Chains A and B, each alone.
Chain A
Amino acid sequence: MLSNTADSVRASLNRRGRWKIGEIAFWLVAASTLFLLPERHLILNEIAIIGLFALSLDLILGYAGIVSLGHAAFFGLGAYAAGILARDGFADPLLGLGVAAIAAAVLGFVTSFLVLRGSDLTKLMVTLGVALVLGEIANQASWLTGGADGLQGIAMGPILGLFEFDIFGTTAYTYSLVVTFLLFVVARRIVVSPYGLSLRSIRDNALRARAVGIPVNRRLVAIYTLSAAYAGVAGALLAQTTQFVSLDVLAFHRSADVMLVLVIGGVGYLYGGLIGAIIFKVLQDVISAWTPQYWQFWIGLILVLIVLAGRERLTERVRALWPRSRGRTVDRPQPLTTTPAREV
């Protein structure tokens, strides 16, 4: 019986770990935009970065159930780390990414011990507080960060010594897309591993997870640190591709926006952050070009409608249009009971 369960879990994880046609198509389309939409590379670059940022929030919110209103702390730290490094003459982008990831991971590791105490409400407040503290430090330390005027004089070197950043944003977008894809693959591997499964059991019932012998706190510290590193990389990408950092990277609205992006796309669903980023930025771009003054009204309205209609229902509709896929999801017996909306 026991080995049966283990087998079925293994089979289930394996099945989820397999790449589906839809996923491959998603990334192929993403790659094709490099050639098909040469004029939109700048905004696509921003979408890739926000998508990665949302993905990092999803790792803790969607898979481990840690709510956070201060995820911009890691994003901003990564951005400043990469920016300051480049300003001071270390212009290699990959070095910048690495340093940003490490800096953000260290901050994530240290603050995880604060975050893992108390209820959801406490977590919201603590994460918010950490971001505010960091924002104020960046504001005050203007000798290091340029304060409210922003960090000036970032000059990036070519990627791998070969690819210079160009004014069309093509190198920037390729770079961000490749980094986002690689980190996505790693995240995907993690959430379908037994470790990812243990995180989900913690999210669904921490008490029971502890009772079956899962080291709850250690697991949460690990995923929080990893998520912080991801956010740091996203921030570093922004700093390197725009070659500018302002206090805004640590602002509250960054944390709120990324939460919004994730909710639009779907929490606990790795593509959620990416899809949410696409919807959010494209809407914002189109509507604000149409009415620069009142776009926030329309975007607010549309967001309310999206959330009311419900992402699950929307995706169900799409699936219903595709009979083969529906047949597969309905007919296959489910060996594991899971909350249906929260798949890979």
Chain B
Amino acid sequence: MLRRTFVGAAAAMLALSGSALAQETLKVGLILPMTGPFASTGRQIEAAAKLYMQQKGDTVAGKKIQLIVKDDTGVADVTKRLAQELIVNDKISVMAGFGLTPLALAPAPLATQAKVPQVVMAAATATITEASPFIVRTSFTLPQATVPMAEWAAQNGIKKVVTLVSDYGPGIDAEKAFTGAFAGKGGQVENLRVPLANPDFSPFLQKVTDAKPDALFVFVPSGIGAQFMKQFVERGLDKSGVKLIGPGDVTDDDILNGMGDVALGAITTQHYSAAHDSPENKAFVEAFKRANPNMRPNFMAVGGYDGMHLIYEGLKKTNGQGGQALIDAMKGMSWTSPRGPISIDPQTRDIVQNIYVRKVERVNGELYNVEFATIANVKDPVKAAKSN
């Protein structure tokens, strides 16, 4: 009896202190895969988000921002539970992160139900922003990065392409976007899909060898590129004259340098390269490396960095108010990110950004994706096609 009274009193006190604190603290729940096969995504985003807070301070509109990092281990039902706990117990104003498409889709109904904006910093399937009116994205969509690749390939004498993608939302998006755009230009395409979890590329690469295409189009999620490259070399494809092309995930900055010379010459299209030539990016890369030795920021990091920027600026505009006001404030926002000029499309809440065509080269002894052409202000082609 005594104990129960005590527990009750303690709970009441906790609840009181919680509500008192809530007035001064705005909580941002960052849900990421920090362990498991997609841990590199989580580490990059967490590092970038912390860097942003370190640079800009943790006070916005007179309120303290508290970042709560949770590890969802890359498992969707855990993501959903964590999001629910953060909303119910921690009373977060914004949830952010979401390393993979299923992980972003699982908590989407909660965002709608609780009116908590969900900032997607990584997952890249085109349809994600349609899952809830409270989702806004600062990463990219696969079709956005892929359609320019198809156009570049068609213009540069590539006639026959085999596509090899991971068999899940973004991979299928990339395959469809590339096949549609490339076939539209008169090219010939053959499609292959590999399982998302624990992929073994060798049987698929054998098929590629047999098909003798001009180029191999590859999409694998961030972090899996190194495995792919290893098997690409083991099969001798690097010496067969097959060009390696694709959206930039395969030559991810985080692991590119470890791939070695085999990656040289790979042509990719994407929205961010650590070698992007702008003062904003130089400052970002330098600060990131200083804060995280042995790490190079990749497109995940820039998604996290811009996501935090969006949250900060949105909260400034609403004076610390969350919910519908915050998501409205985020719509249409534009700024210069380390990746170049970007904006949030007010209709789709998806990102509009430049896509760069890059080639892997050795710069100062390290491998980088060096940009050599720019396609300005690309919207997500899937949603653009729907609205037309």
Contact yes or no, B77 A149, CB < 8 A = no
Contacts of B131 in A (CB 8 A): 152
Contact yes or no, A39 B106, CB < 8 A = no
Contacts of B125 in A (CB 8 A): 149
Contacts of A248 in B (CB 8 A): 75-77
Contact yes or no, A150 B85, CB < 8 A = no
Bound Cα distance A246, B81 (Å): 14
Determine the residue in chain A with the shortest Cβ distance to B106.
A244
Query: Which one of B109-117, B151-159, B375-383 is at the A interface?
Result: B109-117
Contact yes or no, B76 A295, CB < 8 A = no
Contacts of A58 in B (CB 8 A): none
Contact yes or no, A148 B196, CB < 8 A = yes
What total of A-B pairs shows CB separation below 8 Å? 84
Contacts of A246 in B (CB 8 A): 75-77, 102, 106
B50 close to chain A: CB less than 8 A: no
Contacts of B197 in A (CB 8 A): 247, 251
B167 close to chain A: CB less than 8 A: yes
Which of B75, B88, B169 is within 8 Å of A167, CB to CB? B88
B58 close to chain A: CB less than 8 A: no
Which of A148, A169, A288, A295 is within 8 Å of B84, CB to CB? A169
Contacts of A293 in B (CB 8 A): 34-35, 39, 43, 71
Contacts of A149 in B (CB 8 A): 101-102, 105, 125, 168-169
Contacts of B7 in A (CB 8 A): 36
A97 close to chain B: CB less than 8 A: no
Contact yes or no, A42 B69, CB < 8 A = no
A62 to nearest B CB, angstroms?
26
A239 to nearest B CB, angstroms?
9
Contacts of A292 in B (CB 8 A): 32, 34-35, 42, 46, 69-71
Contact yes or no, A39 B89, CB < 8 A = yes
Instruction: Contacts A42-B81, A246-B76, A289-B70 given; indicate if A167 touches B114 (C-beta within 8 A).
Output: yes
Contact yes or no, A150 B35, CB < 8 A = no
Bound Cα distance A169, B77 (Å): 14
Bound Cα distance A136, B131 (Å): 26
Contacts of B46 in A (CB 8 A): 292
A243 close to chain B: CB less than 8 A: yes
Name A residues whose Cβ lies closer than 8 Å to a Cβ of B: 36, 39, 42-43, 46, 136, 139, 147-150, 152, 167-169, 238, 242-249, 251, 288-289, 292-293, 295-296
Jot down 6 A-B pairs with beta carbons below 8 A, ordered by A: A42-B84, A148-B168, A167-B114, A168-B88, A292-B34, A295-B35
Given contacts A150-B102, A152-B105, list 8 more A-B pairs with CB under 8 A.
A42-B81, A149-B101, A149-B102, A167-B110, A169-B88, A244-B80, A247-B197, A292-B46
| Shortest 9 CB-CB contacts between residues of A and residues of B | A148-B168, A246-B76, A292-B71, A150-B102, A292-B34, A149-B169, A242-B77, A148-B196, A244-B106
